[in-house]
Amino acid sequence: MLNFKEEIAKKISSVISINEKEIESYIEIPKDTKNGDYAFPCFRIAKELKKAPQIIATEIKEKIDNILENNNDENKIEKLEIAGGYLNFFINKSIMIKEVLNEIAKNDEYGKSEIGKGKNIIVEYSAPNIAKPFHIGHLRTTLIGNALYRVYKYLGYNTTGINHLGDYGTQFGKMIEGYKMWGSEYNLEEDPINKMMDIYIRINNLCKEDEEVLERCRENFRLLESGDKYCVDLWNRFKDLSMIEFNKIYDLLDIKFDSYNGEAFYADKVDEVVEKLEEQGKITESDGAKIVDLEYAGINTPCIIQKSNGSSIYATRDLAAIMYRAKTYDFDKCLYVVAYEQNLHFKQIFEVAKYLVDEKYSKGLIHVSYGMVNLPTGKMSTRLGNVVKIEDLLKGTIEKAEEIIQDKNPDLENKEEVAKKIGIGAIIFNTLSTTTIKDQIFDWNTALNFQGETGPYIQYTYVRTKSILEKAGNVPDIENVNIKLLDDEYALELIKIIYNFQDTLIQVTNKNEPSILSRYLIDLSKAFSSFYNENKIIVEDKEIQDARVYLTYMTGKVLKQGASLLGMKMPDKM
């Protein structure tokens, strides 16, 4: 499909001799359509050209106007206007409509691309802790990571999704000690996560009171690392029981991973990390522990590589993972979808990784940091037991959706399946509708709100498109669509948004920000509502109906595809 951004960048580059790709990266889509279809902020190159932005805009406009006047071909750009330091471009609407309709007609997966061909992307996300509940604190990493995984894959990247399970560390020494002390009180085959969490809370409270118990826990972890059969067998049991419960949630969310290699997978690979750092003279000792001093990089807290008792730490295992992934996946980007509370940790390991892997890999390490999910009463804590489990959240939302359907449309077929799509879609969209870095306060009333800019609103818009197509009887052939009948402002705005679908997906990967796609789907839904309200679609004039029905079909197609990339499923009726 014709790339108008690229065409504009070519024109600008030809008159100011600045790299075309650099120019294209600066081009924006104005929020107000009165400011054109695309805008070039001239202040981005003011320093380079040593001129005021408005002067640059004027000079570029004059030169491009001259090119357009002397171009005998059909111009893709209709006109240019200056607004302050911005140069606004208005594109040829007829060409855009043709491009979008033809692309939709020939492509079942509209917006799909090979832009990422030959590039390897790793997305590490979800990573619940074994023997602990899968609570809403893990919801954002799971859904953000899944959306990024899907979008990267859709754009042609060779994408690997890794669930880096929290299946190692001192907490398992605690769990083992707790089971030694109180295991006979619990039947772990029934409600295993809650039983294991209860053991963890009890042993953690005891460790605060009794240093001797804490020391036994540390010894248990050391035995686990050294392969002690009792500790390893018990650890495996905790892990197997946990994965059965976790997979129930992944099945509900329709999320799959390419690898479940967690921290334990790298436990036998940490020696190489220590050896390589020692060979380069980067290791120093501090109170018996091995550390890497990072003050030279402006990081005042050293990175601990090995504890004084010889045990590894999760930083060491993360470094071992980077080395393994570089060798195994030859990645261009390795994304870590982890809460911002771990910002320091990732600064540390990304700095240390420079001594362990080639520059290509260390430069490709990216922390996709996100805000925390808190309860209205404050921060959640597994240790204190005040968590909302994802399974309860999903099931509760589905039940609420069923109640709404029963009230609004009691005769709807497949009510349970529709409620599942609406309930889970509401949670997914609620989670992905705000920028990742912002904290979220989880409130049942907000999550279950079926009004406003929500998942159910997008689903309802899609269902409306399906209903219109059903009334029309069929989708007309593209040859029968008269594009001149789609020239009113509401149709044009809708087509323009549809045109920008692929560019929206590229922005998602450029910024690793799924909320860009969420916002896009809301804008598309609103634009269709305006088009629907202003244009009767099922009419006597067959030519007008065919044009409007085809635009309705296009809207539904893009809504369904966009929602799918977020992880949402669309009902046909609701």
pLDDT tens for 101-136 read: 999 998 889 999 999 999 999 999 999 999 988 888
E-state strands within 322-424: 333-339, 365-370, 373-374
pLDDT for residue 311? 76
pLDDT for residue 372? 81
pLDDT for residue 70? 78
| Alpha-carbon span 440 to 371, nearest angstrom | 7
Taking alpha carbons only, the member of 138, 202, 174 closest to residue 383 is 202
E strand or H helix at 170: helix 170-182
- Is 60 exceeded by the pLDDT of residue 541? yes
| Alpha-carbon span 42 to 33, nearest angstrom | 19
pLDDT for residue 375? 64
Tokens of 554: 């296009």
Output the CA–CA distances (angstroms, integers) from residue 231 to 195, 216, 236, 264, in the order listed.
Answer: 18, 13, 9, 13
Mean pLDDT of 502-517: 97
- Is 70 exceeded by the pLDDT of residue 378? no
| Alpha-carbon span 104 to 561, nearest angstrom | 12
Output the CA–CA distances (angstroms, integers) from residue 479 to 7, 21, 93, 98, 547, in the order listed.
Answer: 27, 36, 19, 11, 10
Question: Which parts of 190-228 fold into alpha helices (H)?
Answer: 192-209, 211-225
Q: Which residues contact 3 (CB under 8 A, 6 or more apart)?
A: none
- Is 60 exceeded by the pLDDT of residue 219? yes
pLDDT for residue 449? 66
User: What's the predicted TM-score (pTM) here?
Assistant: 0.92
Mean pLDDT of 420-435: 93
Q: For residue 385, name the pLDDT band (cuts at 50, 70, 90).
A: low
| Alpha-carbon span 162 to 122, nearest angstrom | 7
Pairing of strands 283-286, 86-91: unpaired
Q: In this structure, is the dihedral angle defined by the CA atoms of residues 559, 497, 527 and 544, taken in order, positive or negative?
A: negative
pLDDT for residue 267? 87
Half-sphere exposure of 69 (CA within 13 A, CB side): 7
| Alpha-carbon span 58 to 203, nearest angstrom | 71
Return the bridge partners of 38, or none: 89
pLDDT for residue 389? 80
Q: For residue 433, name the pLDDT band (cuts at 50, 70, 90).
A: very high
Q: For residue 452, name the pLDDT band (cuts at 50, 70, 90).
A: confident
Cβ atoms of 465 and 528 within 8 Å: the answer is yes
Lowest mean pLDDT among 61-75, 154-168, 411-425: 61-75
- Is 50 exceeded by the pLDDT of residue 384? no
- Is 90 exceeded by the pLDDT of residue 170? no
| Alpha-carbon span 147 to 141, nearest angstrom | 10
Pairing of strands 303-306, 289-292: antiparallel
- Is 50 exceeded by the pLDDT of residue 82? yes
- Is 60 exceeded by the pLDDT of residue 72? no
Cβ atoms of 462 and 425 within 8 Å: the answer is no
Tokens of 236: 């495996």
- Is 70 exceeded by the pLDDT of residue 445? no
Taking alpha carbons only, the member of 121, 119, 141 closest to residue 514 is 141
Q: For residue 318, name the pLDDT band (cuts at 50, 70, 90).
A: very high
**How far is CA 206 from its chain centroid?**
39
| Alpha-carbon span 201 to 209, nearest angstrom | 13
The type of residue at 406 is Q
- Is 90 exceeded by the pLDDT of residue 315? yes
User: pLDDT digits over 23-51, tens only?
Assistant: 999 999 998 888 899 999 999 999 988 99
Domains of the chain, CATH where assigned: 4-91 (3.30.1360.70), 120-374 (3.40.50.620)
pLDDT for residue 456? 92
**How far is CA 244 from its chain centroid?**
25
Taking alpha carbons only, the member of 439, 564, 442, 448 closest to residue 135 is 442
User: pLDDT digits over 323-349, tens only?
Assistant: 999 999 999 999 999 999 999 999 999
Lowest mean pLDDT among 100-104, 122-126, 218-222, 379-383: 379-383
The string over 229-254, giving b where at least 16 C-beta atoms fall within 10 Å of a residue's C-beta and e elsewhere, is eebbebbeebbebbbebbeebbebbe
Q: What is the DSSP-derived secondary structure letter of residue 353?
A: G
